């Protein structure tokens, strides 16, 4: 179903599907055993394999065969997925305000942002301003 901006909405994922896909993004690629080991309170090998196959059916993952093993990997490049996830976070928790999201990150009580990082971010904001974003 197209979203208001005309792009295709990604399919809805269950919590377990999201966890398995997260492992694939973190590792770049993984076998069923790799994914199972990375999950907290992991289900059986068969359940993980079935979940990965659902991700393949939904177009979120693909696989290749290496001997007797299947190696799964995400179909979306990590950068694109990261951008979509941040956009979703900003829309959901900050009413679409990038400013509020950035302020929340900088102001987090447990975050110690080094001066160099803040300066680098300020340069990026300046570049975005010059580009009209």
19 and 70 part of one domain: yes
- Which CATH number do you get for residue 40? 1.10.10.10
- DSSP one-letter string for 2-27: B-TTSPBPPPP--HHHHHHHHHHHHH
- Print the domain residue range for 98: 78-130
- Does the pLDDT of residue 116 top 70, yes or no? yes
Distances (CA, A) of 111 to 91, 108, 119: 22, 5, 16
95 and 65 part of one domain: no
This model's pTM is above 0.75:
no
| DSSP conformational letter for 59 | T
* pLDDT at position 110: 66
Number of domains in the chain: 2
Query: What does the pLDDT average to over 69-74?
Result: 97
């Amino acid at each position: 179903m197209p979203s208001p901006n005309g792009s295709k909405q990604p399919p809805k994922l269950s919590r377990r599907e999201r966890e398995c896909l997260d492992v694939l993004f973190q590792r770049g690629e993984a076998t069923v055993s790799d994914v199972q080991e990375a999950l907290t309170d992991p289900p059986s090998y068969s359940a993980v394999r079935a979940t990965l196959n659902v991700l393949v059916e939904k177009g979120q993952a693909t696989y290749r065969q290496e001997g007797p093993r299947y190696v799964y990997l995400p179909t979306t490049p990590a950068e694109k997925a990261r951008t979509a996830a941040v956009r979703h976070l900003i829309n959901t928790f900050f009413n679409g305000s990038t400013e509020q999201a950035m302020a929340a990150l900088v102001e987090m009580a447990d975050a110690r942002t080094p001066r160099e990082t803040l300066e680098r971010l300020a340069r990026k904001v300046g570049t975005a301003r010059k580009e009209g974003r």
